[in-house]
Amino acid sequence: MLSKALVVVGVISAVLLIVILNTTTPDSAGATGVLGVFIVGYLLVLSALTFLLFGISKAVTRVTNTITVQKPVESLSLRRAYYYSTVIAFAPVIIVSMQSVGGVGVYELGLIILLVAIGCLYVTKRTT
């Protein structure tokens, strides 16, 4: 059920993002339109990143289990991949929003990476 919902949300958000970016400018859209672009962009990255993490986890598990003889490695479930993606997908939105008001330097990227790492640590502690 989660996979179907993610696919639907991803397709709808991609279509909405294309329509918004092709029909309006930031001046004509106003603050609400810019907020809508950030929300739709987050949903698009979230759905794509969830399937990307899930696929990478499956591939790494398959390769690792064929190489090692020890305890088999378990892959992420789709739900856990979704939990991690909710945190990681926020990083591009933060970067784009910071770029629009000033600039993103090494210091800012470091803080964003730290924020995402703390969020992933929190997800790990809450889901295990």
Give pTM, 2 decimals: 0.88
* pLDDT one-digit tens code per residue, 86-110: 999 999 999 998 998 888 899 999 9
Residues 6 or more apart whose CB falls under 8 angstroms from that of 99 comprise: none
Question: Of how many residues is the chain composed?
Answer: 128
Q: In this structure, are residues 50 and 81 in contact, taking their beta carbons and an 8 Å threshold?
A: yes
Does 83 have pLDDT greater than 90? yes
Check residue 102 and report its DSSP letter: S
> Span 74-92, mean pLDDT?
94
Please name which of 49, 116, 41, 39 lies closest in space to residue 108, comparing C-alpha atoms: 116
Output the pLDDT for position 82.
Answer: 96
Confidence of residue 73 (pLDDT cuts 50, 70, 90): confident
Please name which of 24, 5, 6 lies closest in space to residue 16, comparing C-alpha atoms: 24
Output the pLDDT for position 30.
Answer: 87
